[in-house]
Amino acid sequence: MKLWIYALFLCLLAGNCYALGETEAMRCRSGIVSPGDSKKTVIDKCGEPADKRPVGRRYKFAGKIYPATEQWLYDFGKNEFLYFAIFNGNEVSLLYSTNDYGFK
């Protein structure tokens, strides 16, 4: 729950949260990606993302160290929605789809 609130806060800060909707999975050409999957698994199933951006940094809270957060954008083409994969460390913590279609 805390992670979800943190990711939402980062999204609002970036100003791009208005058209996003959390999803439980992202369908790729070689499989389905779900929260908990590693970066390697995501790349194996979906290929390289169209864009990678750091959206956080390593921080300490309540005695626990949280790793850097990264956001990957996937563009699957003109007939598919854009997807964001949010990573906390090496694993997917959140997946978002947009109401906008891709550009490829």
CATH number of the domain at 64, please. Answer: 3.30.1450
Contacts of 39 (CB under 8 A, 6+ apart): 87, 90, 91
For residue 44, the SS3 value is helix
pLDDT of residue 47: 95
CB 95 within 8 A of CB 33: yes
Q: Total domain count for the chain?
A: 1
d(CA 15, CA 38): 27
DSSP SS3 for 12 = helix
pLDDT in tens, the chain (104 residues): 445 445 554 554 454 444 455 678 899 989 999 999 999 999 999 999 999 998 876 666 677 776 768 999 999 999 988 999 989 889 998 888 887 888 87
pLDDT for the residue 12: 46
The pLDDT value recorded for residue 21 is: 59
Domain range enclosing 23:
2-101
In this prediction, residue 18 carries a pLDDT of: 42
